[in-house]
Amino acid sequence: MFNNTIDMKSITASKDKVMDEMRSVVADAEALLDSTAGQVGEGAIKARARIEKSLHNAKGHLIDAEEAVLQRTKQAAKATDQYVHNDPWKAIGITACAGIIVGMLIARR
């Protein structure tokens, strides 16, 4: 169970990093749109409209992806918790075997 907590923390940290980077990209694109707001011309207006539409879609997908990852993470944590509670000795055995394998791999170096 302890190893699963560590794995969940690393997964959450990775997810948070990706989400932060995506938010940064969206913020940069919004800043670019704001800085070019004064430019006129049919091409600039069409480009701004396309970018605004793409940004709106990207924000929606980002929110949906974040919610989906959160739900999957919760389901995985719940399934792991149920498995450990239903078969504690099996979970201890699996964890011990994984620890031995990792220890042997580290010792080889």
pLDDT digits (tens, 9 = 90+) for 57-105: 777 877 888 888 888 888 888 888 888 888 888 888 888 999 999 999 9
- Please report, for the chain, the start and end positions of each structural domain, with discontinuous segments joined by +: 2-108
pLDDT digits (tens, 9 = 90+) for 12-55: 777 777 777 777 777 777 777 777 777 777 777 777 777 778 77
Give the amino acid at 64: D
Per the model's pLDDT, the better-predicted residue between 99 and 9 turns out to be 99
